[in-house]
Amino acid sequence: MHALPIAVVDDRRFDRHRSEEQHPERPERLVAARAGLASALPPAEQVEVLVRAVSEEEAERVHSSEYLARLQRMLRTGWGHIDADTYFCPETEEAAWLAAGGAVELSRALLHGPARRGIALLRPPGHHACPSKAMGFCLLNNIAIAAADSLAQGAIRVAIVDWDVHHGNGTQDIFYEEKRVLYVSLHQSPFYPGTGAPEEVGAPGAEGTNVNIAMPPRTGPPAYGEAFRTIVLPVLDAFEADLVLVSAGLDAHFRDPLAQLELDADCFGAMTTALARHVDGLGHGRLGLFLEGGYDLEAIEDSIAAMLKALQGEELELPTGPLRPVEQEALLRTTQTVGCLRS
Ligand SMILES: [Zn+2]
């Protein structure tokens, strides 16, 4: 089988966003991600996507102009913190605007060619960034800006699957009233940022387009496999998005120092295979992975390699196995809210 070309967004200027103190969200994360990319994807099969700064018009589709102006003023003061977790340095503004612009360019490369599969190795991450607030290491919501741009580019419906271990509260907020964007999150609960209950299903008029699967600590691969088979894939099948974007954080990996879930690299590969089959089944094959969190370097390298092999067509099956009662309950809570909406 001939390997599929993969669109790749990467830029050394993302590495210049750094903290003065020790911080888990550090440039070495991208070095590890690049090592995973290089081991799985020969240069000849990479389609380089040119990275440029996000425009005001693109960013304002999801963030308030007041917030963007306030953020820029703050970032131009040098070194500092926006909140206890979220730092900035003199190069942060450039990196953040390039990361969001790179996200837009990846989604356009998938929509219009030259590739149908892609990955964006972005820093700073984005899924906690709200319409008017930076938080959780995130300044601009890269994937939300890309999804909003896809709608502006003519996509009828866009789906975002978020398997970062934290709930993507920013992405949920941004699209809570938008029925053309499906947001499906699998995350540890209770956990930062405290949002992401299954009962959060979307605003009136958009009910069912926000799906939260709140996993208890120590959840492992079989529960993620079951969540994909019984919730994620059926919901995606019903929605029929023109492209599927993934907040592909790697902090649900068992090695991650910040969280307590127990996924492994093969599980990230298998979830990628499942989504690749889904988009192929829709006939368009458009699937983009966007790096969010993930703080163990070995976990990042191994998981990125597994996801890239899956993007290229190497198939891994979703994990199976017994579920703990707390895992079964977690899936049932979401199944019930999704079921209510359908009946
Ligand atoms: Zn995270």
Q: Could you give the CA distance from residue 45 to residue 47 in angstroms, rounded to a whole number?
A: 7
Q: Distance, CA 166 to ligand 1 centroid (Å)?
A: 4
The number of residues in the chain equals 343
Interval between CA 215 and ligand 1 midpoint (Å): 14
Residue 340: what pLDDT?
65
Q: What is the DSSP letter of 14?
A: G
Longest dimension (CA), the chain: 54
The pair of three-digit structure tokens given for residue 323, joined into one six-digit string: 């579920």
Two structure tokens written together for 220? 């492992």
Would you tell me how many other CB atoms lie within 10 Å of the CB of residue 21?
Answer: 6
**Low-confidence residues in the chain, pLDDT < 50:** 343
Indicate the Cα dihedral angle 122, 237, 147, 275, nearest 10°. Answer: 10
Distance 154 CA to ligand 1 centre (A): 30
Contact 18, 26 (CB under 8 A): yes
Tell me, what's the pLDDT at 343? 43
Tell the residue number behind the tokens 């976990």, with chain if given. 299
Q: How far is the CA of 46 from the centre of ligand 1 (A)?
A: 27
- Residue 222, preceding peptide bond in cis (omega within 30° of 0): no
Cis-peptide into 322, omega within 30 deg: no
pLDDT at 342: 52
CA of residue 159 to ligand 1 center, whole Å: 19
Q: How far is the CA of 164 from the centre of ligand 1 (A)?
A: 5
Q: pTM here?
A: 0.98
CA distance linking residue 280 with residue 116, whole number of Å: 10
Judge whether 42 and 108 are in contact, CB under 8 Å.
no
What's the pLDDT at 338?
Answer: 86
Distance 125 CA to ligand 1 centre (A): 9
List 247's β-bridge partners, or say none: 162, 290
Query: 210-215 and 158-162: which strand pairing?
Result: unpaired
Catalytic residue ranges: 128
Q: Residue 58 carries which side chain, given as an amino acid letter?
A: E
> 165 CA to middle of ligand 1, Å?
5
For 6-342, give the CATH class: alpha beta
Write out the E strands in 216-305.
243-247, 287-290
Output the CA 126–ligand 1 centroid distance in Å: 10
What distance in angstroms lies between residue 251's CA and the mean position of ligand 1's atoms?
6
Query: How far apart, in whole angstroms, are the C-alpha atoms of residue 28 and residue 26?
Result: 6
| Alpha carbon of 114 to ligand 1 centroid (Å) | 30
